[in-house]
Amino acid sequence: MKNRKLIFALFALIILLIPLYVILNSEDVLENGNRHKIRLQGYDPFDPFRGKFLRLRYDDVISCDENLEQGDRAFVLLEKDSLGYSYFASAESEKPTHNDYIEAELMWVDGGMANIKIDNLTKYFINEDKAYEAERVVMDFTREKPDAIYVAIRVLNGEARLEDIFVEETPLLQYLETH
């Protein structure tokens, strides 16, 4: 019985440590990661486990190293344009010396270009009552005022977390409350 209780306690500890690890890791990236603003598009599907979300789309077809192949994991460099927006610039096989990169899988590679699979930046989970309104705002702004809406992300050691969607420099949820 004592052994069984010990096994149970160990099992329970592992179960609780996993979400704790994800939380601490996410907080680390959000606190200490480099901040980037990225242009986006959005719409409103549904996830059966986590509720409604806006799917965020980026320009994810980029140049890549010649030695990279489909299915490889690559280091995707983030660079800034003249307006201060970041974009995914290229997929490299060598780890860069700076911190402005994410690790991503290459979905396909063709003629020096690759389609990257971006983890953790493509879904913005949102309250079910606000999803429709948020979708409308995102769609309107991406169509009519693309410079007034962006996604802020944080990157650290190849990992990325979505900080928020900003509409006229206001976080999306706050913007929905005030408009």
Partner 1 sequence: MNTSALLNFLNSLERNGILNAVANQKIQEFLDFNTKSVGKLFLALAATIGALFVSAGIFAIISHNWDDFPKHVRGVLSFVPSLVALYVYYVAVFKFPKSTSWIEASSLFLMLMIGASIALVSQTYQMDGDFDKFLFIWLMLTIPLFYIARASGIALFYLVLACKFLYPDVHWTFFIPTGYSFNEKYYLFWLFLFAFLPHFYLSLNRQSTRQGFRVIYLGWVVTIVLLIALPLAIKAGYLWWGVALVMLYYLIGKKYYRDNVSALGRPFQTIALITVFINLLYFSDDLINELAFKIDRIEEIGTWNAEQIAFFSAGVIAVIALTILALKWKKKEMPLNRYMIFTPFLFVFLYGIYCLNEFADFDIEWLGYLVLNFYALGFGINAMIQGNKSWNVFYMVFGLFQVCFLLWMRYFDMDLPFWLKGIFFIGVGFMFFLIHYLSKDDFEE
Nearest CA to 72 out of 52, 92, 98 is that of 92
Identify which of residues 6 and 145 has a Cβ nearer to partner 1 in the complex: 6
Token pair for 102:
């994410």
| Least distance to partner 1, CB of residue 110, Å | 11
Binding site for partner 1 (CB under 8 A): 1, 4-5, 7-8, 11-12, 14-16, 18-20, 22-23, 26, 30, 47-53, 71, 108, 119-128, 130, 161-162, 173
| Least distance to partner 1, CB of residue 23, Å | 5
Nearest CA to 86 out of 74, 94, 95, 77 is that of 77
Parallel, antiparallel or unpaired: strands 41-43 and 73-80:
unpaired
Identify which of residues 30 and 139 has a Cβ nearer to partner 1 in the complex: 30
Q: What span, in angstroms and rounded, lies between the C-alpha atoms of 41 and 54?
A: 9
CB under 8 Å to 51, separation ≥6 — which residues? Answer: 125, 126, 127, 128
Identify which of residues 65 and 130 has a Cβ nearer to partner 1 in the complex: 130
What is residue 36's three-state secondary structure? strand
Identify which of residues 49 and 98 has a Cβ nearer to partner 1 in the complex: 49
Q: What span, in angstroms and rounded, lies between the C-alpha atoms of 57 and 151?
A: 10
Identify which of residues 62 and 176 has a Cβ nearer to partner 1 in the complex: 176
| Least distance to partner 1, CB of residue 97, Å | 26
Phi, psi for 3 (deg, rounded to 5): -60, -40
| Least distance to partner 1, CB of residue 57, Å | 12
| Least distance to partner 1, CB of residue 124, Å | 6
